Structure 1
Amino acid sequence: MLFWGILPIVLLLLLVVIIAKVGTGIQGEQAAPIEKLNFEKIKLVDEGFEVSVLNSGPEAVTVAQVIIDDSFWNADFDPSPTIDRLGRSTVFIPYPWVQGDPHQIKFITSKGLIFTGDVIAAIKTPELSGERFMKYALIGFYVGIVPIALGLLWFPFMRRFSARGIHAVLALTVGLLFFLVIDTFEEGFELAINVPGVFQGTGLVWFGALLSFLLLIAIDQANERRMKKEATGRQISYKLATGIGLHNLGEGLAIGAAFSVGEAALGTFLIIGFTLHNITEGVGIAAPLLKDRPTWKTFVYLAAIAGGPAIIGTWIGGFIFNNTLAALFFGIGAGAILQVIYVISKMIYKESLVKKYSLVSWTNFGGLTLGILLMYATAMLVKY
Structure 2
Amino acid sequence: MTQADAAERRRWWLPAALSVLLIAAALAGLAVLGGHSLPDRVGPPVEELSVETTRFTSGEIELTVRNTGPDPVSIGQVFVNDVYVDFAGAEDPIRRLESETLLLKYPWQDGQPYTVSMLTSTGVVIEHAIALAVATPEPTLSFFALMALLGTYVGILPVVLGMMLLPVMRQAGESMVRLLLAFTVGLLLFLTVDGISEGLEIGGMSGGAFGGAELVILGAVVAFLILTAVDRYLRDRHPGGATGVRLAAMVAVGIGLHNFGEGLAIGSAYAIGELALGASLVVGFALHNTTEGIAIVAPLTRRASRPPLWILGVLGLAAGAPAIVGAVVGATVNNAELSALLLGVGVGAIVQVIVQLAPSLAGSARGKVGGTVVLAILGGVVVMYGTGLLVPA
**TM tier, smaller:** over 0.9
Give the distance between the partners of 2:88 and 2:270, measured in 1 at CA: 28
1:51-130 mapped onto 2 (5 Å cutoff): 51-77=63-89, 80-130=91-141
Count, aligned residues: 376
Equivalent position of 2:23 in the other structure: 8
Does 1:19 find its partner at 2:28?
A: no
Q: Which residue does 1:379 correspond to in 2? A: 388
Matched residue, 2:11: none
Greater Cα offset, 80-89 or 241-250: 80-89
Task: Give the deviation of 1:80 after TM superposition.
Answer: 2.5
Unaligned regions of 5+ residues in structure 1, if any?
none
Partner of 1:315: 328
Which runs of 5 or more structure 2 residues have no equivalent in the other structure? 1-14
Runs ≥4 residues deviating over 3 A:
1-5, 266-272, 356-359
- TM-score, normalised with respect to structure 2: 0.91
The answer as to 2:175 corresponding to 1:179 is no
**Partner in structure 1 of residue 53 of structure 2:** 41
User: How far apart are the structure 2 equivalents of 1:164 and 1:52?
Assistant: 56
From 368, 372, 376, the equivalent of 1:367 is 376
Q: What aligned pairs does 1:179-258 form with structure 2 within 5 A after superposition?
A: 179-258=190-269
Distance 2:242 2:148 in 1: 33
Structure 1 residues 287 and 46, CA, compared in 2 at 3 Å: closer, same or farther? same
Q: TM-score, normalised by structure 1?
A: 0.93
Partner secondary structure for residue 86 of structure 1: coil
Q: Secondary structure at the match of 2:74?
A: strand
Q: Structure 1 residues 158 and 93 mapped into 2: Cα distance closer, same or farther (>3 Å)?
A: same
Shift of the alpha carbon at 1:308?
0.3
Structure 1 residue 5, shift from structure 2 partner: 4.4
Deviations 1:124-149 (A, max 9, x none): 11111011111110110111000000
Shift, 1:362, TM fit: 3.0
Alignment-mate amino acid for residue 22 of structure 2: L
Distance in 1, matches of 2:178 and 2:196, equals 27
| Contact 1:256–1:267 (Cα < 8 Å) also in 2 | no
State the Cα deviation string for residues 233-273 of structure 1 (Å, max 9, x = none). Answer: 10111111001011101111111111111224278755543
Q: How does 1:111-190 map to 2 (within 5 A)?
A: 111-190=122-201
Q: What code does the residue aligned with 1:229 have?
A: G
Structure-2 separation of matches of 1:305 and 1:27: 55
| TM-aligned CA deviation for residue 121 of structure 1 | 2.3
CA gap of 1:4–1:83, structure 2 versus 1, over 3 A, is closer
RMSD, aligned α-carbons: 1.9
CA shift, 1:383, in A, is 6.6
Partner in structure 2 of residue 330 of structure 1: 343
| CA displacement, residues 142-171 of structure 1 (integer Å, 9 cap, x when unaligned) | 110000000001111111111110000000
Instruction: Give the counterpart letter for 1:334 in structure 2.
Output: V
**1:47, distance to aligned residue in structure 2 (A):** 2.4
